[in-house]
Structure 1
Amino acid sequence: MAVPHINCCVAVILLLALLSGCNARIHKLSLKNETRFAVDLNNFGFFANGTLNVTLSSLWLNEQRINYTHSVGFSLSRSRVNGVLSYTAEETEACPLTTKPTNDEPLILFLIDIRNLRVNVQATGIQDNILIAKGKSEENKEKKVKEIPAARPQESADALNPKAAQMNLPGDGGKDKPGGPKAEEKPNPVGDATKVEETTFLLNTTTQPILALDKVNGFYKFNFLMVVGPKAEGLYSLKFHYCQNRIPGTKLHYSLTVEVIEKNPGSYLSAAEIPLSRLYICMAGVFFTAAMVWVYTLMKHRYSVFKIHWLMAALAFTKSTSLVFHSINYHFINTEGHPIEGWAVMYYITHLLKGALLFITLALIGTGWAFVKYILSDKEKKIFIIVIPLQVLANVAYIIIESTEEGSSEYYLWKEILFLVDLICCGAILFPVVWSIRHLQEASSTDGKAAMNLEKLKLFRHFYIMIVCYIYFTRIIAILLKITMPFQWQWCYEFLVEVSTLIFFVLTGYKFRPASNNPYLQLPQDEEDVEMDEVVTESGALEGISKVKKTSNGRDRQKEPAL
């Protein structure tokens, strides 16, 4: 069992290296020599009076080869559910910055005009958002919102002030002047905005604000702050588009650095993530209670307990501990905007151990190890050699996804790896159960213990159905429910997954409980039943082992040749 320990150590080392640059909900993405025509920056669910602060601190374009008929800029689309986000790069062949919506979908476009050094803002659909940014021309003065609508709560008045928005951006409080900092220096968008006249726009289909675009040492930059109105709540998707790269055979390089800070009133978490901290701590208490009940059962039936029973107890306690650290991790993201590195490391370590223990325990139960045999066949050992490294890889992929910005190119690569590896692991643990069912079917028709083998066969079939239902629900059905739920109720996906995991643990523990009346643990009643079941012989557990046969008087013993 040295391989799992080595893999876990490698995963922990990689985990520590990855977390050093993790900023979680305060997103900062830097891309160099990028060629993608669309970059998904982030998805976030906003309640009323939530704020979105976007700072494009450096954008470099190849101006010698750029075609000004193809737009460059950002799109901000809104949806009520996760599965119907508007204007994804994969859905449309045309550039979303130049294509007019056909169904009045809520959409805000920020079109970067590098020739005139301005950003044209266009809004379609029902809008109730307020935009605060540095205006470009005198024409914006006519569109300036002098007063906040009376229906808006007082809290929104504080949100309209960038200083009161508490963006927690690093800077020098406004000492930098326009054109002063070098391209590689990090500007302070809040500080810069205090020295110029900011304009407040009420976005609608008739208002088309024009924002200022600064150019410093060949790099373009601008920033804006948007306050979400009561009628504009929803799941927002922010994307960057470089539409010239949509032309087949065109791969123009560009570089950008963008910082995105999203907040709901009193929280850095998305609308669907706000209840997760309380959910995880409550489920941790439920799993801990179930683990204590299981330990009490083991102590009560200590003479029927096997090593696999204690491994199941370790899995339940590890699951509870993982949920505790997960809750703490979300608590700090909620209040600080980023996780505390120490707590995040503890969560990822326990999450890795929980995943490894889960698949190892299920595979051992499926093979019947410690219940009816103590040796695994070569075929069964190969399952562990495959599943354990793949499970470590899946957890490493999960850690990378959690600590990587969504807009980075490797994010979707690791997301596909996680999905594929997880499906392989789920399918692999079914093989030992299928083999055991096949062996029990053959043994029930060849030996004299048909009744007992049929009871075990029935139990294994139930276990197989339980695993299949658990995999289908947590990997397919729950995800389908997630993408069809309203954005503020998508936390129910995590609730369903945790509840289904709890039910699966409880049913597995009940089926394989250490009790004298459990058909899986029944001892032979006749003297002839001291021979091991044929299922063990067929799995290779008795290779090279001598079998002892009792005589009729029970005193003399005759040794038979080795099998």
Structure 2
Amino acid sequence: MARVSLLLLPVLLSVTQARIHRLFLRNETRFVVHLNTFGYFVNGTLEVKLVSLQLPAEGSTDSSTVGFSLARSRVNGVLSYTAEDTETCTLLKSKSDDTLILFTIDPHTRSVEVKSFNEKDSTLTGYKEKTQGKEAGKGEAGKGEAGKGEAGKGEAGKDEAGKDEAGKGEAGKGEAGKGEAGKGEAGKGEAGKGEAGKDEAGKGEAGKDEAGKDAGKEVKEKSVETEVVSVTGKEMYGLKLALIKFKENSYNFTFNITIGAEDQGLYNLNFHNCRNMRPGVLSPYSLNVEIVEKNPAGFLSAAEIPLPRLYISMAAMFLTAAVVWTYTLLKHRYSVFKIHWLMAALAYTKTISLVFHSINYHFINKEGHPIEGWAVMYYITHLLKGALLFITLALIGTGFAFVKYILSDKEKKIFMIVIPLQVLANVAYIIIEETEEASSEYALWREILFLVDLICCGAILFPVVWSIRHLQEASTTDGKAAINLEKLKLFRHYYVMIVCYIYFTRIIAILLKVTVPFQWQWCQEFLIEVSTLVFFVLTGFKFRPASNNPYLQLPQDEEDLEMDEVVTESGALEGISKVKKTSNGRERQRDPAL
């Protein structure tokens, strides 16, 4: 399974690019898709580019049922929508007590209507259609004036023609014969002129029709032209952005929001298709969206900005603890067991994992996405650290090497359960880190991680409980009461330490995240790392290989001790030495035979 998890890393790293999100959903039927959660400081920016939204036929899509919502959490760390909000369409809200911006997509009017509630000083930038009404009116008026001018010229031409005909008539009376012939020739001429006039008039009408068509094309092209618009605060309400239809039932648009001083906080960006909220109705859609979230200091969310410094500082502390532990093992090398070196390996692996984690966050902050090489190294060390942690805790809980060198069948089963589950938990963690929140697989793997982690935490408690029960029974045996009571005391302390470690890193850390302000949510990671460091130090102190450790001073086997103390009366065995076990190793002592 470890090999499978390592093979998955390059594939997973290509799925997402951290704080620069590229999401593509095909044939999606969820009525609400949680795209992302991000904490914004002053002048933080959100850019959403809807590359493609493919909806069913326009006749089957109701207006005011599709769009985006950007909501500030009413309680920091908790999604702003409660259970009742899932029963009504968020896009149809007419009022809200929280900061909320709605972008309602209307395919029929090719527009995106913006509604804002309790928005104070944030700025929205988008594209809207250019207004053509005034320019079109001026154009029509110009055409009317030109028509009047042409009509005036026509009337004047008719008057001049009437005068010429009257003059011709007076001249015709003097020359009768010529006049009759002239009239005939003139008639023909007038007829020819009339035919020519009709042709010219026909051409003129055709020209007007062609001009009208060209003008119509120009108006149509101008109607899809857009212009940049920027509004602040309450001016957002009622704004209509341009929705571009570039393919059959496919649309796109873009908007950008800059967070103001009074609106900074933790925001949730969601996509809604409220038609799918109706029972028995499934309206599949395809969504391709690009999201870029940024704060003035970089691409990290407000709660993640201190994490690179936090991880590198904790790595220095774990390294210090590991060096002190190594010095202790070298100083008391005769009483060191293999599990002590396993504990040292765990401390060094934890240090390296924190270093890679800090580097990974540093590049995410600078570039908006992790560097694949550093990310792979972090995931490998994180996997090794998780496996070493639970194996070490379980071995200490069974008393292996300290009390016995053979594990019972039920203790072996614990390891057969914990090790594969730890590999699965680390695979789930990697998938969660490298998958978009909006994908359907994200929620599934998050539930798997929570369940597997809970099982592992419970599994490592069983060996400790079994050891405590065994020592309680053995403490009633004659000759072993004092020894077993000391063991029992130590294992009870160890049990309490494990419970506190699980409680602080799994329960209190989550409660801290949902109660502190959004910019202080990094305290959750601080609590987890400090709790882990304290647990490592206390475990090392309890099981240290030192002469003043009351647990390790105890004889390893009572029967062996009794055999070592047997002395003989035979002179033939004179000079035979016995072996005495001490906390500092085995010391050979020469006792004379009785």
**TM-score normalised by the shorter chain: which range applies?**
0.7 to 0.9
> Which residue among 86, 94, 108 is the counterpart of 1:115?
108
> Which residue among 226, 229, 232 is the counterpart of 1:202?
232
Q: 1:525 to 1:489 in 2, by over 3 A?
A: closer
The structure having more radius of gyration, on CA atoms, is 2
Give per-residue Cα distances to partners, 1:106-153, cap 9 Å, x unaligned.
000000010000000000014211111111353999xxxxxxxxxxxx
Give per-residue Cα distances to partners, 1:361-413, cap 9 Å, x unaligned.
00000001111111111110000000000000000000000000000000000
Q: Does 1:211 align with 2:241?
A: yes
Contact 1:456–1:519 (8 Å) recurs in 2? no
Contact 2:63–2:106 (8 Å) recurs in 1? no
Distance 1:351 1:525 in 2: 35
Q: Does 1:307 align with 2:375?
A: no
Q: 1:526 to 1:119 in 2, by over 3 A?
A: closer
Q: 1:439 to 1:267 in 2, by over 3 A?
A: same
Give per-residue Cα distances to partners, 1:286-311, cap 9 Å, x unaligned.
00000000000111111111000000
2:44 is aligned to: 50
Deviation at 1:65, TM superposition (A): 6.2
Distance 2:363 2:82 in 1: 31
Q: 1:386 to 1:487 in 2, by over 3 A?
A: same
Distance 1:140 1:124 in 2: 31
Distance 2:362 2:22 in 1: 21
Q: 1:140 to 1:262 in 2, by over 3 A?
A: farther
> Which residue among 270, 273, 276 is the counterpart of 1:242?
273
Distance 1:345 1:209 in 2: 46
Contact 1:125–1:205 (8 Å) recurs in 2? no
Contact 2:110–2:244 (8 Å) recurs in 1? yes
Gaps of 5+ in 1: 1-6, 142-178, 181-194, 532-547, 557-563
Gaps of 5+ in 2: 135-219, 574-594
2:8 is aligned to: 14
Give per-residue Cα distances to partners, 1:289-348, cap 9 Å, x unaligned.
000000001111111110000000000000000000000000000000000000000000
Q: 1:488 to 1:304 in 2, by over 3 A?
A: same
1:317 is aligned to: 348
- Letter paired with 1:276: L
- Secondary structure (helix, strand or coil) at the match of 2:458 reads helix
> Which residue among 123, 129, 132 is the counterpart of 1:136?
129
Aligned length: 483
> Which residue among 452, 466, 479 is the counterpart of 1:448?
479
Q: Does 1:499 align with 2:530?
A: yes
Distance 1:414 1:133 in 2: 36
1:127 is aligned to: 120
Give per-residue Cα distances to partners, 1:427-455, cap 9 Å, x unaligned.
00000000000111111112412111101
Contact 1:38–1:242 (8 Å) recurs in 2? yes
1:32 is aligned to: 26
Q: Does 1:261 align with 2:255?
A: no
- Letter paired with 2:89: C
2:409 is aligned to: 378
- Secondary structure (helix, strand or coil) at the match of 1:82 reads coil
- Secondary structure (helix, strand or coil) at the match of 1:132 reads strand
* RMSD between superposed Cα atoms in Å: 2.4
State the TM-score, normalizing by the size of structure 2.
0.78
- Letter paired with 2:423: V
- Secondary structure (helix, strand or coil) at the match of 2:275 reads helix
- Letter paired with 2:461: L
Give per-residue Cα distances to partners, 1:49-107, cap 9 Å, x unaligned.
111000000000112663415510000001264344323687430001103335x2100
- Letter paired with 1:408: S
Distance 1:394 1:499 in 2: 22
> Which residue among 422, 432, 448 is the counterpart of 1:401?
432
- Secondary structure (helix, strand or coil) at the match of 1:138 reads coil
Q: 1:209 to 1:527 in 2, by over 3 A?
A: closer
Give per-residue Cα distances to partners, 1:211-265, cap 9 Å, x unaligned.
0000111210000111111111000100000001001111111001001000000
> Which residue among 224, 227, 235 is the counterpart of 2:258?
227
